[in-house]
């Protein structure tokens, strides 16, 4: 998947969080912040981790099972607006109920918290089909 000059793929991959948009059964869009990592140029992984949640039956997982098309938004904000950028990645997602260590390896490498407490819930694998971006840097 081609990434624009600005932001670079490295900047996108280093972002601490993204937002995952899924479509719920009513047709409305649900948006949640996620930790994420690239497992290769066209694949994003995330997983249900140990952070407190109201339930283990997360709506985002049900949404993906019903409507696998998702959007991931990664952005950078700072007070100096000339450094602002965002990247929108669209693709198809699948829920992996028991993700293998190889799937989780990029997440564990990116987030030190996962070294101590490996994500124990389902994983989400997103195959990116389209990338759109904007940067104040032009």
* Residue 40, Cβ density class (10 Å: 0-12 exposed, 13-18 middle, ≥19 buried): exposed
Look up the CATH architecture of domain 9-135. Roll (2.30)
pLDDT bracket for residue 121 (50, 70, 90): confident
Tens digit of pLDDT for each residue in 39-84?
998 999 999 876 655 655 789 999 999 999 999 999 999 999 988 9
Q: Taking the complete model, does pTM exceed 0.85, yes or no?
A: yes
The Cα 75–Cα 97 span in angstroms is 28
Q: With contact defined as beta carbons under 8 Å apart, do 70 and 22 qualify?
A: yes
Tens digit of pLDDT for each residue in 6-34?
688 899 999 999 999 999 999 999 999 99
């Amino acid at each position: 998947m081609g990434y624009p000059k600005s932001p670079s793929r490295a900047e996108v991959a280093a972002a601490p969080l993204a937002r995952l948009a899924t479509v719920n059964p009513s047709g409305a869009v649900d948006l949640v912040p996620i930790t994420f990592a690239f497992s290769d140029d066209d694949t994003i992984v995330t997983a249900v981790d140990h952070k407190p949640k109201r339930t283990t039956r997360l709506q985002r997982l049900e949404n993906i099972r019903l409507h696998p098309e998702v959007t991931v938004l990664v952005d950078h904000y700072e007070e100096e607006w000339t450094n602002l950028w965002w990247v929108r990645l669209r693709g198809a997602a699948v829920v992996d109920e028991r993700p293998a260590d190889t799937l989780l390896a990029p997440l564990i490498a990116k987030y030190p918290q996962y070294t101590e407490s490996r994500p124990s819930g389902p994983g989400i694998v997103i195959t990116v089909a389209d990338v759109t971006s904007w940067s104040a840097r032009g």
